[in-house]
Chains A and B, each alone.
Chain A
Amino acid sequence: MIIEQDAAARAATREPARDTDSGLAILAAAMALPGVAFAETAPEQGLIGLKYLYYKDYQPGLDRIHVSSPSLYVLTPLGRQWSLEGSIVRDAVSGPSPRYHSAISSASRMEDERHAGDLRLTRYFRRAAVGFGVAYSTEDDYESRALSADVRMSSDDNNTSIVLGAGYSDDTIKPNDTGGGSVTGDEKKKVNDFIVGLTQVVTPRDIVQANLTHSRARGFLSDPYKFLDNRPRERNQTALLGRWNHFFAGPGATLRSSYRYYSDTFEVKAHTFGFEWVQPVRSMTVTPSVRYHTQSSASFYVDPIPGSAFPPVVSLQPPYYSADHRLSAFGAVTAGIKLAWAINKDWSVDAKFDYYEQRGDWRLGGNGSPGLDPFKAQFYQVGVYRRF
């Protein structure tokens, strides 16, 4: 679920709050934020959106997963003190995937449909906003239920906003018996996650955000369809995300930049950089984008044996093992272009195309994992939004 950090930016453009609410002074004190008064208000308009994604990935010699995914989003104020936000999506997924590394000979075909939805209710006070969320997803072999709660506070001038949030998810994994994988009976996975975030208006043309998230997963974390996959039963992950939007008055364009540092107890460290240039052209906007992601491999990831069609069966770091290329060391580049057209003040349509490629050679600083074919993907999105 995406915490509405965007609300901080919307709040920043409103008039500062005038009233006080002594009932929440206790909350303020508990949050230990001296010198900061708080103000939050419900969204002024509702929003409904429909978006369709077509995704396909492939490697040399093998077309892999295809996904067709319609989705719906609604955000609606409920009076002046509440808002409700929700989305639903249906992913139709099919295609072959290698059971280890990028070995085409090992590829097994799958077909599945995933249905997911989330709902978030937010109560606005004069000095804070409190949100509660639920999320649910179900597919043939996986079910996930999640809860979350968050508190947001803004400064009196709406230039500073802080969020604290926590989430819990309880997943059940019921692998299909496809043969050849490390299939077991039903398994469980539980995750606790936390966020602390700060959004700050810096100048009339600059807004920045820094979020720190930490996640603790316990239970079955392996991939039951991958050969001999046996991962630790716990993983802690930490991510620090910084984002900066800067407006250039000359061209009337916005540069959106982001950097995320990631580290986990599988010993994967990653850096992800993203840039978008939003260029208005009359009632349209054209947004080229580029993203670069680099990661180290998990400590228990094993490289292919050079010249062999078969995966290694002895791990150098028993008892954990994975030949899943997603845990290898690589660099990945995404290049994208989006066109959006604001038909009038209420309606907008958009279309986006992204090309993605992942290669061991592209890891920052070298030392990418050897022996894997380049992994490529294309994603196409078309959507419409209406304000009400």
Chain B
Amino acid sequence: MRSLRIACIAAAAAVSGCAGLQPVQPWEKGYLAKPEMTFEADPLQARFEQHIYFSKENASGGYGVGGGGCGCN
């Protein structure tokens, strides 16, 4: 649990440390609108790959909730 606590603090610090930067204005968001700059532009690929790794490894999570289980693991 201690290493998890450290990981959480580091993640929070990394994100909040960005508060010192100037907020991005709407007219500056051209690049951010590209599909590859979003986090799940290909939902079917994401579903397939998360299912494969859930089935063949012992780690999962971080992406969402309520997906249900399967007999595959």
Known: A261-B4, A270-B57. A204 touches B68 (CB 8 A): no
Encode contact with B along A354-375: 1 for CB under 8 Å, 0 otherwise: 1010100000000000000001
Find chain B residues with CB under 8 A from A13 CB.
26, 29, 32-33
CB distance A254 to B47 under 8 Å? no
Question: Which among A13, A118, A137, A205 has the greatest number of chain B C-beta atoms within 10 A?
Answer: A13
Judged by DSSP, the binding face of A is strand
Known: A142-B69, A268-B58. A381 touches B48 (CB 8 A): yes
**Considering the complex, which residues of chain B in the window 26-56 have a beta carbon less than 8 Å from any beta carbon of chain A?**
26, 28-34, 36-50, 52-53, 56
CB distance A247 to B31 under 8 Å? yes
Q: Does A262 contact B (CB under 8 A)?
A: yes
Q: Does A81 contact B (CB under 8 A)?
A: no
CB distance B63 to A3 under 8 Å? yes
A171 CB contact (under 8 Å) in B1, B30, B68: B68
Known: A204-B28, A381-B45. A245 touches B61 (CB 8 A): no
Q: Does A234 contact B (CB under 8 A)?
A: no
Find chain A residues with CB under 8 A from B71 CB.
112, 114, 139-142, 173
CB distance B66 to A295 under 8 Å? no
CB distance A49 to B18 under 8 Å? no
CB distance B42 to A383 under 8 Å? yes
How far, in whole Å, are A326 and B72 apart by their CA atoms in the complex?
A: 11
A333 to chain B, nearest CB (A): 12
Q: Does A218 contact B (CB under 8 A)?
A: no
| Residues in A lying within 8 Å of B, measured CB to CB | 1-6, 8-10, 12-16, 49-51, 53, 55, 57, 69, 71, 73, 75, 87, 89, 93, 112, 114, 116, 118, 133, 135-137, 139-142, 144-150, 157-159, 165-169, 171, 173, 189, 191, 193-195, 198-205, 207-213, 215, 223, 237-243, 245, 247, 249, 254, 256, 260-264, 266, 268-270, 272, 278, 285, 287, 293, 295, 298, 326-327, 332, 350, 352, 354, 356, 358, 375, 377, 379, 381, 383, 385
A–B Cβ pairs within 8 angstroms, 20 of them: A1-B64, A2-B46, A2-B64, A5-B39, A55-B52, A69-B48, A114-B71, A137-B69, A139-B70, A142-B69, A142-B70, A148-B64, A165-B65, A167-B65, A191-B69, A198-B15, A240-B7, A247-B31, A270-B59, A298-B58
